[in-house]
Structure 1
């Protein structure tokens, strides 16, 4: 059982929905980023999604693209991202960390080396958005064997024919992308998302978490109300981009987490 599995079992037992927060590793700089990540559990974050900076983040909107650029310009690398997770683990051995990014940096490092290093750093799961299920032998299957969850995205265009393929080797949770398009581009609507979540849950026992287009405590609450939890990324990253102090970012994240936990 991974930390992700344990967290969702704990939430289910207490009748709570999950709040997942995304931040880009190394944005605006390594030290501030580490401080922000360390602040998230106290703000009520159940699972941390840690963005891996990449030069060509095709699934991300301008907010997260710019965060990745800032991180890369500040010298952030895959190794420093793992170092950040290692530092976080010195104080927190229970909050799950999901590394979210693209395959190229992992491929360059070598899959076996990466998986061993990620496991040692305290990474619990991976979301690699540019590896489809047809490429599961590349990373998904080895990751599962190494004890990491491999979390897949389902989208509004994932039809009933495609869904079983998407779910086949997924573990930890299913990430449902609430809107068609890039991150941060529109607002999620519970009325639209609800039937899609129900459709996915009919095919899997995994928790279904909804992300993209959630910016307020109210939307976090409404989306968590029809799913197993909510993810917020771009809205948090925008606060960091504004230069808000860590305490301010933490306070904002707490309002979102409180919203999801009310559901």
Structure 2
């Protein structure tokens, strides 16, 4: 397996095997600086052999092992993106590490653009499925045992987890959208013509991460949930140009609702 040295280092440093890993996307990293996180153990990415520092604003670049809402959790502040020029084995390496540690489940979060015109900026969306337009698959190459050579992807995003997210949102008085996430390499934002095509394909949101991680997490036998923070309306839906600063600002504005939802999800997670 690639990153064997990183796994050996992580096993030596990690204070426990987390029940759940939570990947914090652009603008959603505040949980990694929560009181629980400050009381836990922080491991910078650069302490793990082969892991570089992140280069994208809003991605902190560390793993935090902590007790969070009564559960043993690993908070991943930041991720590696394909558009940064990283090879796919690095993009999905954290999922391999969690699987080999014995982690049962992963919650993937991201900032995304809304394609569904009934959704709005700042909405949260539970991922029900995805469309992979990365132009590659993270499982290409020799099979990483003991995962199956041809893993089933009928229900990548665990239906029970998705129902639990909806129940938590209802308890909090939140509206949680649900939809299909379409993953692209980036780094440019999509053209209006592409967005029209993606809507015809059945996508509700578009982003530049998550899909490779979800595929590998399932290959590792972990249960997966996903939440997108819809930080902008995709190209052509509104007249203004798209910027990463807009994404960060919308993520910050939604941070309180996002944190409340994640806390409720973890607190009563049916693992």
- Give the TM-score taking structure 1 as reference length: 0.32
Larger strand percent: 2
Larger helix percent: 1
